[in-house]
């Protein structure tokens, strides 16, 4: 499925001024916004939106066979790399309704496709990129 990359400037978090972020939308209208980074565990934060569904999710490199990519003595962002395999945490706690199994499967398929095929085009993406999703939480 084709994803369209756009730079957006809008308020993502309530009460926090708008900032420039990458946003990708697929042919079905699912939109994923790259919302930032969380230093706790080198996680990248995203927002998933589609019709009446909107929630935050985080991705980080899988702890299985984890390797330190940072350069000794140099502060860099290399440990935010998601590859070769990453874990994804879906934070659906604040949804107004429970997701159906079909909706959850579609969301996982969209996120998997985005992270493994499209995220590398975003400005905050760092190689190695995700090739697989090890686990969804």
Question: What's the start-to-end Cα distance of the chain, in Å?
Answer: 24
Q: Residue 13 — pLDDT band, cuts 50, 70, 90?
A: confident
Q: Is the pLDDT of residue 24 over 90?
A: yes
Alpha-carbon distance of 22 to 18, in angstroms, equals: 13
pLDDT of residue 12: 80
Query: Phi and psi dihedrals of 96, rounded to 5?
Result: -75, -10
pLDDT of residue 117: 97
Average pLDDT, the chain: 93
> For the chain, what are the domain ranges?
3-136
Average the pLDDT over each of 5-19, 20-34, 50-64 and give the range with the smallest value.
5-19
The kind and range of the H/E element at 111 are helix 101-113
Alpha-carbon distance of 34 to 22, in angstroms, equals: 5
pLDDT of residue 89: 97
Neighbouring CB atoms inside 10 A of 92's CB total 16
Two structure tokens written together for 122: 């975003």
pLDDT tens-digit readout, 63-113: 887 888 888 888 788 999 999 999 999 999 999 999 999 999 999 999 999
Give the global pTM. 0.92
């Amino acid at each position: 499925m084709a994803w369209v990359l756009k730079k957006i400037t809008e308020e993502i978090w309530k009460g926090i001024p708008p900032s420039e972020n990458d946003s990708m939308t697929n042919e079905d209208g699912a939109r994923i916004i790259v919302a930032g980074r969380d230093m706790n565990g080198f996680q990248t934060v995203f927002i998933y939106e589609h019709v009446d569904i909107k929630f935050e999710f985080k991705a980080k490199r899988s702890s299985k066979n984890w390797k330190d990519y940072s350069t000794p003595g140099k502060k860099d962002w290399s440990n935010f790399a998601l590859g070769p395999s990453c874990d994804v945490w879906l934070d659906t706690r604040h949804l107004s309704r429970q997701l159906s199994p079909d909706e959850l499967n579609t969301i996982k398929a969209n996120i998997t496709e985005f992270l493994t095929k499209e995220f590398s085009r975003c400005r905050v993406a760092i190689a190695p990129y995700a090739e697989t999703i090890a686990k969804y939480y």
